[in-house]
Amino acid sequence: MRIVAGLAALVVLVAGTTTAQADTLEYVALGDSAAAGPLIPNQDPDLWCLRSDRDYPRVAAKTLGATLTDVTCSGATTDDLAGRRFGLLAPQLDAVKPSTDLVSVTIGANDIGLFQTALSCINALPEPFGLSCRDRFTAGGRDQLAEAIQAWAPELGAALDEIKRRAPHARVLVTGYGTYIRPGGCYPVQPVWARDGDYLQGVMNGVSAVAKAQAAQRGMSYVDFASVTVGHDICAAPGDRYLEGLIPATVAAPLHPNAAGMKAFGASIARAADLVGAAE
Q: CB of 219 within 8 A of CB of 156?
A: no
Q: Is the dihedral of CA 67, 46, 109, 123 positive or negative?
A: positive
Set 74, 208, 221, 256: catalytic member: 256
CA 162 vs CA 5, 82, 110, 211, 213: distances in Å: 50, 9, 20, 15, 17
Cα separation of 105 and 128, whole Å?
40
Whether residue 232 lies in the annotated active site: no
Q: CB of 165 within 8 A of CB of 172?
A: no
Nearest to 145 by CA among 203, 192, 186: 203
Amino acid symbol at 43: Q
Whether residue 256 lies in the annotated active site: yes
∠ CA 40-46-50 to the nearest 5 degrees? Answer: 35
Q: Cis omega before residue 188 (within 30°)?
A: yes
Set 33, 74, 104, 268: catalytic member: 33
Q: Which residues are known catalytic residues? A: 33, 256
